[in-house]
A = this chain, B = another copy of it.
Amino acid sequence: MKQKFPFSKDIDLAFKNDPPGLWMSAVPKGCIRLNSGYPEPALVPSKGIKEAVGRLLDEEQDLPLHYIGSPRIPALKKFIQQRMLKREAEISEEELLVTSGACQAIDLISRILLDGEAVVAIESPTYMEALEVFRNYTEHFMSVPTDANGLDTGRFEQMLADRKEQGRTLPRVLYTIPTFQNPTGTTMTPERREHVLKLAEQYDFLILEDDAYGELGFEEKPRLLKAMDANNRVLYVGSLSKVVAPGMRIGWVAGAEKLVTAMKWFKKDLDHPFAQATMASYIEGIDFDGHIKELTDAYRRKSSTMIAALKKFLPPTVSWYVPEGGYFVWVNVPGADTAKMLPQAYAAGVAYVPGRYFFLNQEEGTEFLRLSFSYANEQQIVKGIELLGQVIAANVEQKVE
């Protein structure tokens, strides 16, 4: 069969990266999944969702199954506004767009802000799926170092100043996960938050604040960049994936009305009335603060378990950041090649994500790996870290101490 197409250029462009997710599905059955950034199965409210669908369809019959959707959907918007207000960000209805998960929000933001000339500043390391979305729009990135306190705004300022002096294109947008970051689990300090907002004003860029984990603080929830955003430069992206269920795909973007209106344009018929109505019905049936407390209690405990196991089972050269929320522990294994080590870990019965997948320049991630304490249970976490300790010990030259 002939396969001649006139548009080879565009199509080749779309193939420029490896398909994401492919390497993640390779985890052998039976492996302890310290790789998965999924909520713990027992914490996904499948019963609550079932009841929510029952209530919704009993009360509204076909309504939520049409395009226009359920009269409950406005309640979902109001709920999101209230959650944000609780965190000191007042968002009007016009400044809010409900999306099919955070990824659609990031995609819509990219659509309206990016073209092939645009430069996106990203954290190094960063959330790889977001990076893949940006790469559909531009190949120009500015990779900004992070440390235990999140984005290194001092280095960022220097990089911006250098770029300006050299006459190079300044970033159009900074993509940051300031709170309980993926993959590092770190959180930006209040001082750095102030600093990065100042830089946005000074160097005229927007900030995409990805707050997927923001509700999951073990002790406190840091102040949102969006709550400090006097000049309306922050596009806040939220999600119920980590706190209710990822498969429901409910996220949102909150930002300047002009930008959000432009996004609504592209979103158009890509809405999901049934999913949104189901979520609205689920939320009305529960005490959401109580639900969040249940989650943070569980994840705090699991995080502590993982940190204790790391101390117990990992060689002393290995180090990590202790998270104050979220799902992840970022581990540095000096001397290792964590991508090459992965098949051994699989064989031993434990899965993690090699650090390279979180870097624009993948080499920088060679000695790092991401662990997640969200999906596995505590017993699995301890066993998994023990197995990981053995694999690392076999891979890294140990100093005898």
Point out residues on A near B: beta carbons under 8 Å.
1-7, 10-11, 14-15, 19-21, 25, 38-39, 41-42, 44, 46-47, 49-50, 53-54, 57-58, 60-62, 64-69, 100-101, 103-104, 107, 112-113, 115, 129, 132-133, 136, 172, 204-206, 230-232, 241, 245-249, 256, 258-259, 261-262, 264-266, 268-275, 277-278
Instruction: Please determine whether A1 and B54 come into contact, CB atoms closer than 8 angstroms.
Output: no
Q: Which residues on B sit within 8 Å (CB–CB) of A2? A: 231-232
Offer 27 A-B interface pairs, CB within 8 angstroms, sorted by A.
A1-B230, A2-B232, A3-B256, A5-B206, A5-B258, A6-B204, A6-B205, A7-B112, A10-B112, A10-B262, A11-B112, A11-B262, A14-B266, A19-B264, A21-B268, A41-B61, A42-B62, A49-B65, A65-B246, A67-B241, A67-B246, A100-B100, A100-B270, A101-B270, A103-B269, A103-B270, A104-B270
Q: How far is the CB of A224 from chain B (nearest CB, A)?
A: 17
* CA of A246 to CA of B64, assembled, Å: 9
Q: Which residues on B sit within 8 Å (CB–CB) of A103? A: 268-270
Q: Which residues on B sit within 8 Å (CB–CB) of A245? A: 62, 65-66, 274
Instruction: Please determine whether B275 and A272 come into contact, CB atoms closer than 8 angstroms.
Output: yes
Most B CB contacts (10 A, CB to CB) among A241, A261, A275 go to: A275
Instruction: Please determine whether A268 and B50 come into contact, CB atoms closer than 8 angstroms.
Output: no
* CA of A349 to CA of B62, assembled, Å: 23
User: Nearest residue in B to A249 (C-beta to C-beta)?
Assistant: B272
